[in-house]
Amino acid sequence: MDDLKKLAKAKLLIAEDTPIQGKKLKFYLEKFGYEVDWAKDGKEAWEFFQKTEDYDLVITDVQMPHMDGLEFLKHIKEHSDRKHIPVIVLTTLKDDETLLTALQIGASEFLNKPFRPQELRLRVANLVSLSKFQELMLDENQELSSQLLEKNRILENNFKDLNRAHDELKEMKAQLIHSSKHSALGVMGSGLAHEINNPLAIIDGYNDRLEGFIQANNLQQDQVLKVNTKIKKSTERIRKIVLHLKEFAQGFNGEETGEQIFDLRDMLENIKVFFGGKIDDLGVKIFFDLPNESVMIEGVPASVEHALFNIVHNAIDAVEKMDKREVRIKLELIGGQAEVSVEDTGKGIPEDLVNRIYDPFFTTKEIGRGVGLGLSVARSYLEEHGAKINCESHSGTGTIFKIDFPIYKEAA
C-alpha cells in the first residue's frame, strides 16, 4: 500500500524562463496531480535541485539566462548523487544539434514546443513511474544488502566459533592420543610382566636344581654347564625384554619422535619377543613369518610400533574366546611395498560394523578393556608414514589386517 502511494505522489522541477511556457507547464502538471516547483532559469533550477532532495523528474528548457538547460543537465549528471533522476528537455524540431548534445549528457526524453498536454501527460507519467520504480528497487537493494551484511556478520561469528571448536578438538585429540599411548604402555607393561615372569620362573627352577646338585655333592661338570647355559639363555631373554621396554618408553617420552630409517623386520622381531611363542594364560598361539633380510622403512619407529602393537593386540583379543586361538604375523615384499599382515582366527567383524572400526571411540569391548582409540590412532600414524591399512573380515571366520609400507630407497 505504501509503495502504491509512493508511486502516485510525485514531485517535479521545471526550469523555464518564458513565463507563458512555465505557467502552462505548471498548470497542466498540477492538474495531472503532481507537486511542481518552477525555477525561472538554469541557475535557480540548480539551486532548487540541490536544496530539495525528493524530485522525481526534471523538465528543462534549453535556452535560458545565467545557466542554460544543457549546463543544468550537466550539473545534475556530473555533480549530484541523484544523477539517475530522469530529465525531459524541451526542444524545437529544428534543434538537431542541441538534441544530440542533450542525449550525450544524459537526457531521458524530449518534448517538442509547443507541447500537447496529452503528450506531456504520457511522457511525464512514464518517466515518473520508472523513477519511482528505480527508487523502490534501490530501497529494496539497500534493505537486502543490509540483511546480507547482517548474515555475513553472523557467518563470520559462526566461522570464528567453528575455528575455536576445531582448535579445542585438536587439543582434545592430542590429549586422547597421549592417554591412548599410556594405555598401550599399560597393556604392554602387563605383557612384559608375564614375559619376564616366565624366564624368572625358569631361572628359579634351575637354581633350585643347581642347589640340589651342589648339596648332594654329586657335581657333574657337564650337568652344571647345561643348567648354566639354560640360565644364561633366560637371563639373555630378560635382558632383551628390558632393553626393548626402555626403547618403547623412550619413544613415548618424546625422545624418539624424529624420523629415522629403521628395520621393520627387527621391529616385528621385538614384538615377537613381547608376545613370545604363545600367550600361556589365554592359550593363544602367535606365529611369526619374517624374512631373513632387513626391510628398511623411513619414519618414527615409536609410532609404527605403537600402531602394529595395537593391531596385534586386537587380534589376540579377538581369538581369546574361540576354540582355535591363532594369530599369524607376516612380513613380505609385495609389489615394491613391505606388507605386514596380521591374521587371526577370531570372531570376525560383522559387515555393518567394519566401516566403523577406525572411528575414534568405536569399541565393542567391555568397559575398562577398550576405549576404541587403538585403530584410529594406528591409522593416523600409519598414514603419516605413507602406509595404507586394509582390513578384510568375515563374521565367525576371522580377520586379516594388511599394512603396506613404502620401502626406503637410498638416494642414488
Ligand X SMILES: Nc1ncnc2c1ncn2[C@@H]1O[C@H](COP(=O)(O)OP(=O)(O)OP(=O)(O)O)[C@@H](O)[C@H]1O
Q: Where do contacts with ligand X occur on this chain (CB under 6 A)?
A: 180, 183, 310, 314-315, 318, 344, 346, 348-349, 357, 362-365, 370-376, 399
Chain center to CA of 298? 28
Residue 230 beta carbon to ligand X: minimum distance, rounded to whole angstroms:
36
State the CB neighbour count (10 A cutoff) for residue 273: 15
Residue 328 sits at the vertex; the CA angle it makes with 323 and 332, to the nearest 5 degrees, is 160
Question: Angle formed by the axes of helices 301-319 and 117-215, to 10°?
Answer: 80
Task: Decide which of ligand X, Mg ion, none touches 10; Cβ closer than 5 to 8 Å per partner kind.
Answer: none
C-beta of 191: minimal distance to ligand X in Å?
A: 14
Closest approach, Cβ 357 to ligand X, in A, equals 4
Rounded (5°) CA angle 328-331-336: 145
- Judged by beta carbon distances under 5 to 8 A according to partner kind, the member of ligand X, Mg ion, none in contact with residue 373 is ligand X
Q: Are 238 and 199 in contact (CB under 8 A)?
A: yes
Shortest distance, position 354 Cβ to Mg ion, whole Å: 15
Q: Provide the minimum distance between the beta carbon of 310 and Mg ion in the complex, in angstroms, as a whole number.
A: 5
Count, residues near Mg ion per rule CB under 5 A: 2
DSSP letter for each residue of 184-206:
HHHHHHHHHHHHHHHHHHHHHHH
Q: Which residue is nearest to ligand X (CB)?
A: 374
Alpha helix positions (H), 216-319: 221-252, 264-275, 301-319
Q: Which of 191, 251, 299, 374 binds Mg ion (CB under 5 A)?
A: 374
**Residue nearest Mg ion, CB atom distance:** 374
Binding mask 306-325 for Mg ion (x = CB under 5 A): --------x-----------
The answer to whether the peptide bond before residue 114 is cis (omega within 30 degrees of 0) is yes
Residue (42 or 374) nearer to Mg ion, CB: 374
307 binds, among Mg ion, ligand X, none (CB under 5 to 8 A by kind): none
Q: Which residue, 162, 240, 157, 166, is CA-closest to 199?
A: 240
376 lines the binding site for Mg ion (CB under 5 A): no
Residue identified by cell 511525464 is 124
Which C-beta is closer to ligand X: that of 266 or that of 326? 326
Binding site for Mg ion (CB under 5 A): 314, 374
